[in-house]
Structure formats: C-alpha cells, structure tokens
C-alpha cells in the first residue's frame, strides 16, 4: 500500500537563533524546523505542530510524502526525517524535514504487519514471536508502502517466516538480508511451582541479618576501641 500525499503543511521562514528564541516561538503555538536536501541550501522554518503530529500519527507515519508551502516561496514535496518530543509533556519541540524529488529513489524502513492467527498458536498452544518489525527497502517516493502485510496463519512449530517470504512488488526492492527471521512460533515456558514442603520451609526460615548492618556495627565498635584518650593538661 503506497503512501499518499497529505494536505499542504504551511511554513514560515525564521532566523536561526538560540534556545530562548525557540522557546518564544513555541509560546506562540509554533515549533522550529529545518528543511534541507535536494542539493539546496538548508532553510530554517517554523510549522504548526498539529499538522506535523497529524502526519506522524497517520497510517504511513513519517514516511508520508506531503507538500510543504513556505510563505513567499514555492511548494516542495517533503518528508519528515527526524523529530524531538518534550520528555515529560510529550509535545513536539523540533522537526527536520527533507526535500523529496519524486523521480529519485529513496532508502527507508517500513513496518511489517503480521496478519492472521498462527496455527502453532491456535492448535499447538505456542506463542507467536515477532522478531523483525521493520524492513529496509528502496523505491520511488510514490511507491513507498505504508507497511508490509504478511499472513502468518500457516506458521507452526519449527517453521520460520523470513524476509524472503514477504510479499513482493516490482516497484519495491528489499535491502534487508533475505535470511533474517521475521516471525516464528515458540513454546510457552513452563513455570515449576515449589512443592508444599519447600514453600513451608521457606516461610518458616528466619531471615538472615543483612551484612551491611553487621559491618557497620563492627566498624563502630572498632572505632571506639581505637579512640585515643585525651591528653591531660
């Protein structure tokens, strides 16, 4: 499933400045951003964090190709390549945006989505382990899939789903090692419960005195013994 161009993101040019200027900008409801790529000079801009969040939380996420319209300049196709969140509040602080040439192939990672219930889980009581969650690909921007869907309903114990088993498209080239494990069914680990005798013995056992307490007490007594008497006047 290829990514779709989202609605235009409006941007304004800004002068590169210090952290205080960035804080003042965020106070106005906008965040600082940088646009670069396509062998052109970098441009410092500001954008509405809501429009960026809408893209990041969409089905295609940061792989979405969108139109970036800088005030006083022409629109350009772009993609989000890096972003920073405020650790406590979770609000966007900064974003890096890259110009995209629609006739130039890109290398990027897309998520792998497992579909169906594995036979090893349904009939053999196992657990499906999703080992590889993203795969590296190369393709034109218009052909970027939002994710790679793969059916795992046939998976049983002893069978491994590898990158080579993922569905292919002539427009998308896989870069990840073909032998990489994507998913397999593993056995449920058995938890051995203690015997009633062992549980009773553990419950009645007297707790050992922590070593740190003994050590501290010993050091106190030795320090008192080694204390020199006061000199008589």
The pLDDT tens digits of the residues spanning 14-52 come to 887 778 888 899 999 999 999 999 889 999 999 999 999
Report the pLDDT value the prediction gives residue 16, as an integer from 0 to 100.
72
pTM of the model: 0.71
CA neighbor of 85 nearest in space, from 45, 49, 110:
49
Based on the fold, state whether residues 59 and 120 are members of the same structural domain.
Answer: no
The pLDDT tens digits of the residues spanning 170-223 come to 999 999 999 999 999 998 765 555 666 666 666 665 555 544 444 444 444 444
Domain of residue 65, residue span: 6-99
Domain contains 197: no
Indicate the number of domains in the chain. Answer: 2
Report the pLDDT value the prediction gives residue 166, as an integer from 0 to 100.
96
Based on the fold, state whether residues 51 and 126 are members of the same structural domain.
Answer: no
Report the pLDDT value the prediction gives residue 192, as an integer from 0 to 100.
55
Based on the fold, state whether residues 31 and 86 are members of the same structural domain.
Answer: yes
Based on the fold, state whether residues 88 and 110 are members of the same structural domain.
Answer: no
CA neighbor of 43 nearest in space, from 19, 61, 68, 20:
68
């Amino acid at each position: 499933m290829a990514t779709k161009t989202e609605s235009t993101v409006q941007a304004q040019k800004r002068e590169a400045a210090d952290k205080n200027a960035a804080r003042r900008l965020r106070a106005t409801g906008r965040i600082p951003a940088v646009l670069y790529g396509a062998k052109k000079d970098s441009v410092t801009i500001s954008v509405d964090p809501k429009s960026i969040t809408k893209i990041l939380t969409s089905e295609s996420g940061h792989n979405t190709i969108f139109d970036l319209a800088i005030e006083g300049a022409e629109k350009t196709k772009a993609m989000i390549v890096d972003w920073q969140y405020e650790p406590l509040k979770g609000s966007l602080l900064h974003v890096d945006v890259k110009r995209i040439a629609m006739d130039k192939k890109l290398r990027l990672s897309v998520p792998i989505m497992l579909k169906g219930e594995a036979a090893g889980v349904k009939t053999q009581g196992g657990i499906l382990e999703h080992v590889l969650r993203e795969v590296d690909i190369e393709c034109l921007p218009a052909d970027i899939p939002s994710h790679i869907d793969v059916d795992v309903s046939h998976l049983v114990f002893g069978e491994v789903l590898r990158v080579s088993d993922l569905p292919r498209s002539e427009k998308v080239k896989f870069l990840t090692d073909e032998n990489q494990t994507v998913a397999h069914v593993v056995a449920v680990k058995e938890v051995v419960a203690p015997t009633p005798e062992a549980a009773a013995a553990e419950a009645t056992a007297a707790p050992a005195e922590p070593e740190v307490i003994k050590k501290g007490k010993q050091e106190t007594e030795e320090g008192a013994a080694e204390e020199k008497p006061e000199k008589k006047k």
